[in-house]
Structure 1
Amino acid sequence: MTYSMTPRDLARRTSAAVDAAVEAGRDLGLTVTDARVLHDLFSVVVHLAPAPVVARVPTVLPPCTDLDSLADRQRAELDVTRWLADRGTPVIEPSPLVPPEPVRRDRFSMTFWRFVEEDRDKEPDYAANSESVADLHAAMRGYPGRLSFLSAAEPRSITEGLVLLEGHPDLIGPADLDRARREWRVLEPLVRSRAAFEEAFPGIELQPVHGDSPPANVFSGVDGDLYADFELVTLGPVEWDLAALGPDLESAYDRGARRNGMRTLNEDVLGFVNAVGMLRAITTLALVPQLPSLVEYLVPAVDQWREMPFAGGVAH
């Protein structure tokens, strides 16, 4: 089995990310004397106190993601969120105190955001969040920038993850891995080609979407909820943002869609995005050596996937 990072290794990586963020912030003219880690999973999120600025430093990345491709993705996120904020959409926006560009320091590429005080007493209301995603989609429809089709699916990462998992029978068994490969042969053409998707799902329009389960990425600020974490912003069907959330939250989204004069979710497209989302979860197992705690999140997803229709019911 491939070497897995130890708790000491993880602590060193977090410390290196914090140091890089502090140094980069100071080089940009920020006063930083009391940096504090707010979150540490796929990214280290650091409040560069006393400056009202948060640095987000991705630390757990697929092997195929280099700093150049990461920076391209970060530029799209910064541009979309700044555009939305300028039009009054409630988002966590890029910090106005530094240029809205990713900054490379050491082996990290990071972005800087306005610090917002969290309401730690508020429990997430995922039904309300899901309904409000329709408001976000309505706001994003007019975004004029260029976004790649379904880049949030990270097809190269899925392909390479399936190869890497061959060496991890402790994480996924041969039968499950064989099914995942066969499903990906069905789904990959629809992920990689806009034309193939549109042929398979005629009449399903594409638009800018959040890309990473926005009902789970609504930040409870003391002055109200804000959409956050547009790291995977992409061009796709609105169903992508509701993948794997289940009928109750899908119905909540549909209420918001009708209120906005938008179409409700399409069952066939939901089957497709749910299947792709599950393959993304399965191939994320390949990142467990970088972040061992992922196992507890991903094993239940594998169990759920085994009960789902093959490739989400997409014809093959």
Structure 2
Amino acid sequence: MSDPARGGPFSGERLAEVLTGVCAAAGLDPEGATLIKCTANAVFRLASAPVVVRIGASTALNHRVEKVVHVATWLAEHDVPAVRLLPGVPQPVTYDGYVATVWEAVPDGGRRPRGRDLGKLLRRIHDLPEPASWLPPWLPLADVAARIGEAADLADADLAFLQDRHDEVADQLARLEFPSPPSLVHGDAHLGNLIPGPAGPVVCDFDSSSLGPAEWDLTPLAVGVIRFGEPAGRYRELARTYGMDVTRWRGFPVLRAVRELKLITSVLPIIGTRPAIRAELLRRIADVRSGNTSARWARYT
């Protein structure tokens, strides 16, 4: 386990301490905060103000938080419906090796986002002018490699399999030629990253944003239908509204393999403190190892 003095896997007590430290640095009150999600990030909604605090669990990926701030600022400048950074707080906020961002909470209300909403937002994002040099190139397996490298409490055989799978998929990906020109891509574009709001859905979570192929942003929902049993109509809405069906492209099986590897490894930094997640992680590894391409997975919670 990482030295907690320099960040590291979350425990309940450590997480409360980090939230308190981040809020102190940002001039906020953590009392009564609600933990919304804790996988690759711990996400809190404060009770004292309409604010969301997002703390990265993987210290190996701290470097990408600066990019998240740039992307959020860029989308705001172009009036794209997206979550907004909290004004008046220098971002990102650091505390004891952890890096956090602080956001305006989206007001309650609004209908549940649909595939067509995601299609409209992705088309708008992909049609933006090419951002400045702060946007990194699309390297979808970089976070996978980082998480494998810092994984704790996983059997050597499983780690070796994940490393071999990473190398195999990376080789396949390097040989792909994409039909779309590079653009800003969200990087993790599924319906769970759309938040309902009174004025319509807004997009969140820019950890994986980069300059890359539009086809990548159409992949998560397609894989969600296959692996999580999401209604196929959601993906059909996305494809119809956006104007492309990535599942009909010859490179889709490779993009699917990349997406599944990311879905497997996203929780590696925290499995030592989240026993409930371990069983699902090991099941996903077993399915890929055995070549079971139709097995349904459960969401990490």
- Normalising by structure 1, we get a TM-score of 0.71
Distance in structure 1 (CA, Å) of the matches to 2:151 and 2:164: 11
SS at match of 1:116: coil
Alignment of 1:158-307 (within 5 A): 160=149, 165-167=154-156, 172=158, 178=161, 180-189=162-171, 196-197=174-175, 200-201=176-177, 203-241=179-217, 242-243=219-220, 244-246=223-225, 248=232, 249-258=234-243, 263-265=244-246, 267-284=249-266, 286-287=268-269, 288-295=271-278, 297-299=280-282, 301-302=284-285, 305=288, 306-307=291-292
Give 5+ residue unaligned stretches, structure 1. Answer: 4-8, 310-316
Q: State the structure with more CA Rg.
A: 1
- Preserved CA contact (<8 Å) 1:118 1:219: no
Identity level (%):
20
Matched AA of 1:45: V
Distance in structure 1 (CA, Å) of the matches to 2:45 and 2:202: 17
Q: Would you say how many aligned residue pairs link Structure 1 and Structure 2?
A: 272
Q: Which of 137, 147, 165 is the aligned partner of 1:149?
A: 137
Query: 1:300: Cα distance to partner?
Result: 5.5
Give 5+ residue unaligned stretches, structure 2. Answer: 3-9, 227-231, 295-301
Q: Report Cα offsets for 1:160-203 as digits up to 9, x if no partner.
A: 37997443x6xx5x9xx64x554433322465xxxx45xx3154
- Normalising by structure 2, we get a TM-score of 0.75
Q: What residue number does 2:25 align with?
A: 24
Alignment of 1:126-145 (within 5 A): 126-140=114-128, 142-145=130-133
Q: Provide closer, same or farther for how the CA distance between residues 202 and 222 of structure 1 changes in structure 2, counting only shifts above 3 A.
A: closer
What root-mean-square deviation, in Å, do the aligned CA atoms of Structure 1 and Structure 2 show? 3.4
Q: What residue number does 1:313 align with?
A: none
Matched AA of 2:166: W
